[in-house]
Structure 1
Amino acid sequence: MKSHLSIMAAVAALGSVAAASAQAQSNVTVYGSLDAGVAYINNLAGGAVTRLDQGTMQPDRIGFRGTEDLGGGMKALFQLEAGFATDTGNQVNAGRLFNRNATVGLQGSLGTVTLGNMPDIVFDYAGKLSNGFQLTNFYLFHPGNLDTLANTYQFNNAVRYTSPAFDGLTVSAMAGLGEQPGDASRNRNLSAGANYAQGPLRMVLAYSRQNNRAAGYAGAYLATLGRGNATTVFDSLTTWAGGAGYTVGDWRMNALYTQSRVAMPAAPGFTQKNADLGAAWRYGPRTTLNFGYTHTRLEGARYNQVSVSHVLAFSKRTEFYVQAAYQKAGGAAKFAFQNYTGASSDDKQLVTTIGLHHLF
């Protein structure tokens, strides 16, 4: 009996050591963001509206990420991230639990390989230099989000390689497999990019090509121009993006250009071009003023947008914000259409928001 108890005690002790070792070599983090604000839109389909908007400063999401040390400089890693709406509690995409990210991978001295569902490299590299990201205002992403900077479209069945950083330079390439027997190009997505970050300077160049993609989120915007709707399927959508960011003192500045070319199956294609200029001034230990200008062209349609916002940080995780964004449409564009607001009944639209953002 004593021998049996001794064996059990030894096994329990070994289990405790193994558990402690595993805990020391791996970690899992739960994280997320909740954001809600009262928004006033002066013209939405012909009338003013006050509503509760979610995800304005940052998208509402909950995620899990982790790594395990495999030894020899190798790590296993994973990430699961789901989008939801704070104002209703609904999933952003009812058909996908982890719609924003669901990946597993390996990281070593030669770089990182990840597999699964993930955003393209235009979002990952160029998106972080856009006014929508730098100035923390979702309304500032470009009409229709054809260039994917707002992460409303991810690559399924994707494989991505990211190099180690060489003197601040990182390069990435990825492919979303179409998985169509007999037609390797159908539904296939490709993306690549380079990111340079050294001291106060950051520069990016990124490319993305999506085949047979439904217009989806962009459908409402394209409908205002007679170019399609949510069910329209593009032959291809090709985006190039390049930009730079610089920090000097209390100022952070960004400039970005994107160009998205859409090929249609039974209609003429079109190109959307976007240019962002933005600046954020941290004039106090807890206060930031953001200023932005965006110019968008889609063939003969053009849009000019200006924005200003003020952010007060109560802590590292909780912020109060006041924002305003105004857009004027011109040329062939008869209706203003700011990202996320919806179409105006004329060529002007103003949206103001007062809200609260919390990270965990």
Structure 2
Amino acid sequence: MKAHHLAWIAGTLACTAHAQNSITLYGVIDAGLTYTNSSQTAVTGKRPVGGSQFALSDGSATGAGGSRWGIRGVEDLGNGLAALFTLENAFTINNGAFGTGGAEFGRQAFVGLSGTFGSLTLGRQYDTYTDFVQPLTATGQWAGYMGAEPDDVDSLSNTSRINNAIKFRTPTYRGMAAGLLYSLGGVAGSLTQNQLFSIGAGYSQGPLSVAVGYLSARDPNVSLYGTTPNKGSTALNSIGSFGSPTSAESSPVDAGYASAKTTQIAGAGIDYAFNPVTVGFVVTNTRFYNLGSTSGPDPLGYTGTASFLNFELSVKSQITPALLLGSAFHYTDRNSVDGDGGAKYLQLDLGAFYSLSKRTSLYILTVLQRAIGRDSLGQPAVASITGFSPSTTDRQLGVRIALQQRF
């Protein structure tokens, strides 16, 4: 999850010269057992094949939060100005490998300045649409990656970070704050190729929280979905293993739209706390414009625009100081592209978290998803819970029981 969600983290190690200067080491370790009733292994005769799966996995794929460690530093420069940096590494607890595609500091890597004006940071960062809208979603509060929209189609589960980014965030004033991010494409001879822009704003005061956000990515197959080393910087990343008879499909919900020239995502959310129950509602719209461009592969010859409208209604309740229960319902509706009739996805999330201490918790997450229509790979739509291999059918069940330690 995002850096500012690490408000949970306790027991930090800090080396301080005086109150304003600090170096902080922090982290999360999330390991658990996952089960799915249907997981693809290959494609035979143009239909996916596979079976049920039971595995030990890290939280970065299917859990409440990916394993990570990070270093955060602040130096007082005087006159209310401070220098800051964050380096955050993801790893997988079951084999010790780097996460985020093998990047050493693939979760976050930035440096910047903060003061009365707010903060200005440069490097690999989260976009401001996600910064403001995600905290109001089930995936941002308790459900983790597997509680995101199908294949994270609205990009609110941090499956993509933004490279080459300049980010500004205002200070919070009477509960209100806003932020801007611009990512340079860095392509010689073109100021707009691979560029990305996002904006977000929010208000939080008392029991009420409200947020809005917008993201626009040119050549999104590279600038948004191709930002980790294992995806490379070519136009052959987000469509994954499409067409391979020996590999599972990758993101069938939207991977077929890799040729979009522009992806635009807008979202808004609201939370209201009726202690001890909090109710939330989030709506997002993801649009893949100008399909068939040279920005990515187009093996199915799509044209026009693919649009996903997503709704989420969530409820969480702090039953006791140690026990949290959560549930969420998702509805996703995709328009008809080139006369394919479109697709719909229904999803139910259920979760329970029990805190053994301030740093350690046990949890169980269950997600059920059903797909209707035809998906972006031109086949009868298969269910695809975020973080899991897609199903072989239109239904999928994912269950995770895990232990999470924070430091």
Q: Percent identity?
A: 30
Partner of residue 303 from structure 1, selected from 345, 355, 362 = 345
Query: Residue 271 of structure 1 aligns to a residue in which SS?
Result: strand
Displacement of 1:102 in angstroms is 0.9
Q: Secondary structure at the match of 1:340?
A: coil
Choose from 280, 283, 307 the match for 1:271: 307
- Report if aligned partners of 2:150, 2:253 keep a CA contact under 8 Å in 1: no
Q: Are the structure 2 counterparts of residues 227 and 66 from structure 1 closer, same or farther at C-alpha, using a change threshold of 3 Å?
A: closer
Measure, in 2, the Cα distance between the counterparts of 1:155 and 1:227. 19
How far apart, in 1, do the equivalents of 2:65 and 2:395 lie? 25
Deviating more after overlay: 47-56 vs 257-266: 257-266
Task: Give 1:186-335 correspondences, 5 Å limit.
Answer: 186-214=193-221, 215-216=225-226, 219=239, 224=252, 228=256, 232-263=258-289, 264-266=291-293, 267-268=302-303, 269-299=305-335, 300-333=342-375, 334-335=381-382
Q: What residue number does 1:39 align with?
A: 34
Quote the Cα distance in structure 2 between the aligned partners of 1:262 and 1:145: 14
Partners of 1:124 and 1:210 lie apart in 2 by: 16
**Structure 1 partner of 2:175:** 168
Letter in 1 for 2:372: G
Over 3 Å counting, the alpha-carbon distance change for 1:157 and 1:283 in structure 2 is same
- What is the alpha-carbon distance in structure 2 between the residues aligned to residue 137 and residue 109 of structure 1? 33
C-alpha change, 1:160 and 1:265, in structure 2 (3 Å) is: same
Q: Partner of 1:48 in structure 2?
A: 52
What TM-score, normalized by structure 1, do the two folds share? 0.89
**Deviations for 1:110-160, whole angstroms, at most 9, x for unmatched residues?**
221111110111221111112212233321112222322111212211111
**Secondary structure of 2:239 counterpart:** helix
Amino acid in the other structure paired with 1:307: D
> What one-letter code is carried by the residue in structure 2 that aligns with 1:312?
Y
Report how many aligned residue pairs link the two structures: 339
Name the residue aligned to 2:402: 355
Structure 1 or 2, whichever has the larger Rg, is: 1
SS at match of 2:100: coil
In 2, the alpha carbon distance for the partners of 1:343 and 1:224 equals 8
Q: SS of the residue aligned with 1:98?
A: coil
Equivalent of residue 105 in structure 2, options 98, 101, 123: 98
- Aligned equivalent of 1:6: none
> What's the CA shift for 1:95?
4.4
Amino acid at match of 1:54: D
Which amino acid letter does the alignment assign opposite residue 163 of structure 2? N
Residues of 2 paired with 1:176 and 1:146: CA distance?
Answer: 20
Deviations 1:287-319 (A, max 9, x none): 111111111122211111112111110011111
- Distance, in Å, in 2 between the alignment partners of 1:190 and 1:312 is 39
Contact 2:250 2:389 (8 Å CA) reproduced: no
Q: CA deviation at 1:24?
A: 3.9
Cα pair distance change 1:42/1:65, threshold 3 Å: same
**C-alpha distance 161-223 of structure 1, shift in aligned 2 (>3 A):** closer
Conserved 8 A contact 1:28-1:67: yes
Give 1:146's aligned residue.
153
Mapped to 2, the partners of 1:286 and 1:218 lie a distance apart of 40
Secondary structure, in 3 states, of the residue corresponding to 1:343? coil
Structure with the higher fraction of residues in helix conformation: 1
What are structure 1's unaligned runs of at least 5 residues?
Answer: 1-19
**Contact preservation (8 Å) 2:38, 2:397:** yes
C-alpha deviation, 1:330, in angstroms = 1.2
Aligned pair partner of 2:391 in 319, 337, 344: 344
Letter in 1 for 2:332: T
Q: CA deviation at 1:181?
A: 2.2
Runs of 4 or more above 6 Å deviation: none
Distance 1:174 1:223 in 2: 26
Q: Which has the higher contact order (CA 8 A, sep 6+)?
A: 2
C-alpha separation in 2, matches of 1:148 and 1:323: 20
- Equivalent residue, structure 2, for 1:126: 133
- In the alignment, the residues of structure 2 paired with residue 281 and residue 301 of structure 1 have an alpha-carbon distance, to the nearest angstrom, of 32
Q: Name the residue aligned to 1:14.
A: none
CA distance in 1 between counterparts of 2:284 and 2:209 reads 16
The answer (yes or no) to whether the contact 1:275–1:295 under 8 Å persists in 2 is yes
User: Could you tell me how far 1:253 is from its partner in structure 2?
Assistant: 2.0
How far residue 282 of structure 1 moved from its aligned partner, in angstroms, is 1.0
Measured in 1, the distance between the counterparts of 2:157 and 2:251 equals 20
| C-alpha distance in structure 1 between counterparts of 2:193 and 2:134, whole Å | 26
Q: For the residues of structure 2 that align with 1:225 and 1:166, how far apart are their CA atoms?
A: 39
Change (3 A) 1:197 1:302: same
Q: In 2, Cα distance between the equivalents of 1:227 and 1:27?
A: 43
Query: Which moved further from structure 2: 312-321 or 69-78?
Result: 69-78
Aligned to 1:11: none
